[in-house]
A and B are shown apart, each in its own frame.
Chain A
Amino acid sequence: MAAVSGLVRRSLEQVTVREAINQGMDEELERDEKVFLLGEEVAQYDGAYKVSRGLWKKYGDKRIIDTPISEMGFAGIAVGAAMAGLRPICEFMTFNFSMQAIDQVINSAAKTYYMSGGLQPVPIVFRGPNGASAGVAAQHSQCFAAWYGHCPGLKVVSPWNSEDAKGLIKSAIRDNNPVVVLENELMYGVPFELSSEAQSKDFLVPIGKAKIERQGTHITVVSHSRPVGHCLEAATVLSKEGIECEVINMRTIRPMDIETIEASVMKTNHLVTVEGGWPQFGVGAEICARIMEGPAFNFLDAPAVRVTGADVPMPYAKILEDNSVPQVKDIIFAIKKTLNI
């Protein structure tokens, strides 16, 4: 009995997203000597958000490197190291600061394999928290999914839960291409059950494949990162009213798994997209455009609808901030509107 219950406890472990990313990086650092982490406060401070806790103690100065406040410089150094055969993980304290270094991400990393005619790969990971936090105001709240998702040569992933976080960071590190991993600060402390499969050191979540988190028949709700949780909450509420939502967790922004979304829309005939970023030229806009171009268009019984962040720089006051990010009630409203309920 004791042995069985021990097994059961081990097979469903509660792991926070922070711990999951930490585990993923730890396993990959152990697996391959060429992997190393650099960024501000990643070593002795254990990470600005404690995501890299314990790694410097375990791996030391050579592999966990504290940088000065020089995003453009250290991102470039990371890209150069990747070109010369190492596998760096370059942390941006938040992706807002990546704007200082965006030339290195796009022009030096993303485009190089193509420009060199296939001679020079750049196996680098850029990771850090992306999007809105709580009360950090306009300069610290921008979502970069659309900006990075725009660029050929990059892969862009956006984990929601712990399984996503661990599996995607591992896949990103093992990928020979520049991968942008858009984490979410508000999700770092949220615990999820991690299956025994997901606890394995070889567990990977494939880049480029979405996951259907909840099956449904009436409407397809597509999201990425923290809003996936809000969509599931909305689905629970609506289920009581007899509306069954199919909730899709994109997991990857680029290359986008449009096929999974299309198959779902062809089943449900309705589509709502949900994201934290601004509406114009955003992830939802891209999904809508592609749905129109593909087989699913003819199955739509209503126009596709987008739920996004408000089209303003993020305000500070709580009432304003709360109304600038998509809430569960906004998702429910959009779903009912689409279903004409």
Chain B
Amino acid sequence: MQRHDVASVTNAPIVAPRAFSPRDTQKVGGVALAVWVVGGCGCPVLHSMKKMLAAAVSRVLGGGAQKPASRVLVASCNYSNDATFEIKKCDLHRLEEGPPVTAVLTREDGLQYYRMMQTVRRMELKADQLYKQKFIRGFCHLCDGQEACYVGLKAGANPSDHAITAYRAHGLCYAYGLSVQSILAELTGRRGGCAKGKGGSMHMYGRNFYGGNGIVGAQVPLGAGVALACKYKGSNEVCLTLYGDGAANQGQIFEAYNMAALWKLPCIFICENNRYGMGTAIERASASTDYYKRVNFIPGLRVDGMDVLCVREAAKFAADYCRSGKGPIVMELQTYRYHGHSMSDPGISYRTREEIQNIRSKSDPIMLLKDKMLNNKLSSIEELKEIDVGVRKEIDDAAQFATTDPEPPLEELGHHVYNNNLPFEVRGTNQWIKFKSIS
């Protein structure tokens, strides 16, 4: 029995075969089609389903559809539309109430979160590969393991909210709308990169997304400034301002806390606590590792950063808090990175392989979501595998582009020094070499 790619109209593709058996087959347009029926569903409506199916298929094929014959509509009564989950209660600081302890996950959202997290995971692994093949140079800080943070934050905030982070940025870049292709091509320094090859790993920008910042901690006052602009314009938007457990000890962050609280800026200060600042465990860097409690006058939440639903609910709670004009809030996401600090760090001199393996087997964010979805009939192994295949292709295509797209032309070395400026000349390495500078 051949399986074919299906275009799902009812949001329900072919059900996984392992638990079920084929009851009937139909030949449609010369293509063998298996109609799988759920054993446990007890469908007395099987017969009418077949009729529905035939009608739907002939509608597709008879209507001179562009879809290939292998694309077939399959109705299934198996998937749930949504499921409710209990999520870990957040630790609270100076808050009476926190985010809800249950979360509803729709099938649609679940599939989207799964796809996005899988994309970030695969993209980071591809970057690892490209770095080892020397297509990527310099700094490359990977975030695999932390996918739930980025997808959850994006899901909990509004589409028009703003975000800024430090240099471990690829995951948030993707969540905030940059394509895998534009990210990988920027990493390989090609003209098709999102910054035209001018910035590299740490300097990627997008709509309402302010990078990608190389100086540890500097992005936090920047984020508070974006929040100031939101309040100034009356836009009802907030700024998600991310920093790590290492950066949390930067003085300028405390300056930003003070001004954000003083002026009630709609800034969500988000500490991604992945337990290590480069090679230094949090206990060796911070007198207090309760990052959500750092500020006496700003409320805080500590969130399970490996559970995308936890992050989503906390982000929504925090964004609502800020939007209501109460001022800033701090969120600590407890998460973990599988890779070392950067590609030059194997990541095992300051932590054990066992620890990494333990997290992978017990707390991997993608695995946790997958289990939730499968155990609650929000999806199937087949369907998720199909998503994996699609993601893999997307990444491979992007990598192909990123390794074949040409480097930026030398003539553009001097471009983008100033904005909205008349063209002028930029000095090269000696007085006779000049580059034209265009805005």
Instruction: Please report A residues at the B interface, Cβ cutoff 8 Å.
Output: 36, 62, 65, 67-68, 70, 72-86, 103-104, 107-108, 112-121, 123, 152-153, 155, 175-177, 255, 293
Please indicate the chain B residues that have their CB under 8 angstroms from the CB of A123 in the complex. 419
A74's nearest neighbour on chain B, judged by CB, is B259
Q: Is the CB of A62 within 8 A of B221?
A: no
Instruction: Please report B residues at the A interface, Cβ cutoff 8 Å.
Output: 162, 164, 193-199, 203, 205-206, 210-211, 213-215, 218, 220-230, 232-233, 239, 251-252, 254-256, 258-259, 262-263, 415-421, 424, 426, 431, 439
Assuming the contacts A80-B223, A84-B162, A104-B221, asked whether A117 and B417 have C-beta atoms less than 8 A apart, the reply is no
Assuming the contacts A76-B256, A107-B214, A116-B205, asked whether A81 and B418 have C-beta atoms less than 8 A apart, the reply is no
Most buried by A among B214, B416, B420: B416
* Interchain CA distance A13-B213 in the complex, whole Å: 48
Please indicate the chain A residues that have their CB under 8 angstroms from the CB of B417 in the complex. 113-114, 152-153
Assuming the contacts A117-B195, A121-B420, asked whether A76 and B233 have C-beta atoms less than 8 A apart, the reply is no
Assuming the contacts A70-B258, A118-B419, asked whether A77 and B205 have C-beta atoms less than 8 A apart, the reply is no
Q: Is the CB of A118 within 8 A of B416?
A: yes
Please indicate the chain A residues that have their CB under 8 angstroms from the CB of B228 in the complex. 77, 80-81, 86
* Interchain CA distance A77-B230 in the complex, whole Å: 12
Most buried by B among A84, A113, A175: A84
Q: Is the CB of B222 within 8 A of A114?
A: no
Please indicate the chain A residues that have their CB under 8 angstroms from the CB of B225 in the complex. 76-84
Give the Cβ gap from A77 to chain B, nearest Cβ, in Å: 4
Q: Is the CB of B420 within 8 A of A73?
A: no
Assuming the contacts A76-B256, A80-B210, asked whether A108 and B222 have C-beta atoms less than 8 A apart, the reply is yes
Question: What are 25 inter-chain pairs, A to B, with CB distance below 8 A?
Answer: A72-B251, A73-B255, A73-B258, A76-B256, A77-B221, A78-B225, A80-B210, A80-B225, A83-B210, A83-B222, A84-B226, A84-B229, A86-B228, A104-B222, A107-B214, A108-B218, A115-B195, A116-B211, A117-B196, A117-B197, A117-B416, A120-B211, A153-B417, A177-B421, A293-B431
Give the Cβ gap from A141 to chain B, nearest Cβ, in Å: 25
Give the Cβ gap from B423 to chain A, nearest Cβ, in Å: 12
Please indicate the chain B residues that have their CB under 8 angstroms from the CB of A74 in the complex. 221, 255, 259
* Interchain CA distance A255-B424 in the complex, whole Å: 10
* Interchain CA distance A314-B306 in the complex, whole Å: 56
* Interchain CA distance A68-B220 in the complex, whole Å: 17
* Interchain CA distance A75-B195 in the complex, whole Å: 25
Most buried by A among B256, B258, B263, B418: B418
Q: Is the CB of A81 within 8 A of B232?
A: yes
With beta carbons under 8 angstroms apart, the residue of A107, A120, A152, A175 that contacts B426 is A152
Q: Is the CB of A116 within 8 A of B255?
A: no
Q: Is the CB of A76 within 8 A of B195?
A: no
Beyond A153-B418, A177-B421, 14 additional pairs, beta carbon < 8 A = A70-B259, A73-B258, A75-B221, A76-B220, A77-B221, A80-B223, A85-B233, A104-B221, A107-B214, A112-B211, A116-B198, A119-B206, A121-B419, A123-B419
Give the Cβ gap from A181 to chain B, nearest Cβ, in Å: 16
Give the Cβ gap from B232 to chain A, nearest Cβ, in Å: 6
Q: Is the CB of A68 within 8 A of B259?
A: yes
Which 8 pairs across A and B sit closest by C-beta, in order of nearness? A80-B225, A76-B221, A73-B255, A117-B196, A84-B229, A80-B222, A117-B195, A70-B255
Please indicate the chain B residues that have their CB under 8 angstroms from the CB of A75 in the complex. 221
Q: Is the CB of A117 within 8 A of B199?
A: yes
Give the Cβ gap from B252 to chain A, nearest Cβ, in Å: 4
Q: Is the CB of A76 within 8 A of B205?
A: no
* Interchain CA distance A78-B256 in the complex, whole Å: 11
Please indicate the chain B residues that have their CB under 8 angstroms from the CB of A80 in the complex. 164, 210, 221-229
Please indicate the chain A residues that have their CB under 8 angstroms from the CB of B251 in the complex. 72
A84's nearest neighbour on chain B, judged by CB, is B229
Give the Cβ gap from A101 to chain B, nearest Cβ, in Å: 9
Q: Is the CB of A72 within 8 A of B229?
A: no
* Interchain CA distance A67-B256 in the complex, whole Å: 11
Assuming the contacts A67-B259, A75-B221, A76-B256, asked whether A81 and B226 have C-beta atoms less than 8 A apart, the reply is yes
* Interchain CA distance A205-B424 in the complex, whole Å: 19
Q: Is the CB of B259 within 8 A of A155?
A: no
Please indicate the chain B residues that have their CB under 8 angstroms from the CB of A121 in the complex. 419-420
With beta carbons under 8 angstroms apart, the residue of A72, A73, A113, A293 that contacts B419 is A113
Please indicate the chain B residues that have their CB under 8 angstroms from the CB of A177 in the complex. 418-421
Q: Is the CB of B232 within 8 A of A86?
A: yes
Q: Is the CB of B221 within 8 A of A83?
A: no
* Interchain CA distance A82-B210 in the complex, whole Å: 11
Q: Is the CB of B226 within 8 A of A116?
A: no
Q: Is the CB of B232 within 8 A of A116?
A: no
